[in-house]
Amino acid sequence: MSDQEYKDIANYLVAAEVEKREVVKVTANIKPDLSVEEAYLVQEELVNLKLDEGRRIVGPKMGLTSHAKMKQMGIAEPIYGYVFDYMLIENGGQVPLHELIHPKVEAEIAFVIGEDIEGPAVTGAQVLAKTKYVLPALEIIDSRYENFNFTLPDVIADNASTSRVVFGTTLKSPQQFELDLVGATLTINGEIKELGAGAAVLGHPAHSVAMLANMLARKGEKVKKGDVILTGGITSAVMLKYGDVVSGKFDGLGEVTFTVTD
């Protein structure tokens, strides 16, 4: 693929996000043989478009971090994308439905990185030693593709369906917890919809950050001090609708909430 082709696909996906409309997946007609490596190059162009607009990266996010999901997708490692400043919703805030296409929510544990982490061969223990805080989060994913229908390269190119994030306000040292044992419940309108524990994320959320560092190392990049990283869903994702009052409760880490408005 030429540089222009990467840019054209990135523009196709950014336009879908900005215009809040579904589009046909890239592999259906634009580039049927899009590879994972090419998809990350499209993602880089997408990220550059947003940076050129003056957006700021909050940190990377990991996706497909459950062993069951990876087996289902036939992959050996998760995927990553990037959270930008315009995606942040304050705890207790509102998520306007008209700004999104078909959003879903999942509960996650986020890491605030205290020192650069550079691969390869980073371990979960090294990640914990360089993590300043952990905090609870609700991630709202919103694929730009029709009916959430995509292949692995499609979702990578689409910035891993990243859309909105609500971070909790409770910051705790990771040394205070057995993060793999931290339980979380996802409640919508007072009804528990999903529950899980930190171990759902590659056995331990720190393993997710370690894998991210090792993946970034392949292209000479690293996890940076100050990054706030979403480590992957503890729970499955649940579709949102107008009027939903959403709450994520995390053992020892507090509660994250938002309301879906029109």
3-state secondary structure of 95: strand
Per-residue pLDDT band for 75 (boundaries 50, 70, 90) equals confident
Q: Given this model, what pLDDT does residue 69 score?
A: 79
Beta strand 88-89 pairing with 254-261 = unpaired
Alpha-carbon distance 173 to 155, whole Å? 32
Which among 224, 207, 220 has a CA at the least distance from the CA of 56? 224
Q: What is the pLDDT of residue 232?
A: 97
Domains of the chain by range and CATH? 3-261 (3.90.850.10)
Mean per-residue pLDDT for 255-260? 98
Band of pLDDT at residue 249, cut at 50, 70 and 90: very high
SS3 at position 230: strand
Residue with tokens 């957006």: 55
- Statement: residue 71 has pLDDT above 90: no
For residue 222, the SS3 value is coil
**pLDDT at residue 76, as a whole number:** 87
Percent of the chain with pLDDT over 70: 100
Q: E-strand spans in 64-172?
A: 79-84, 88-89, 93-96, 104-113, 131-141, 162-167
| Banded pLDDT at 39 (limits 50, 70, 90) | very high
Query: How confident is the model at residue 211, as a pLDDT?
Result: 97
Instruction: Give the residue from 6, 18, 12 showing the smallest Cα distance to 163.
Output: 18
> Does the pLDDT of residue 19 top 80, yes or no?
yes
Q: Using DSSP, state whether 164 is helix, strand or coil.
A: strand
Distance of CA 259 to the CA centre of its chain: 20
What CA–CA distance (Å, rounded) separates 119 from 202? 18
Q: What single-letter amino acid sits at 156? A: I
Question: Nearest 10 degrees: CA dihedral of 189, 140, 222, 208?
Answer: 50
Tell me the average pLDDT of the chain.
Answer: 96
Region 142-148 average pLDDT: 95
Confidence of residue 74 (pLDDT cuts 50, 70, 90): confident
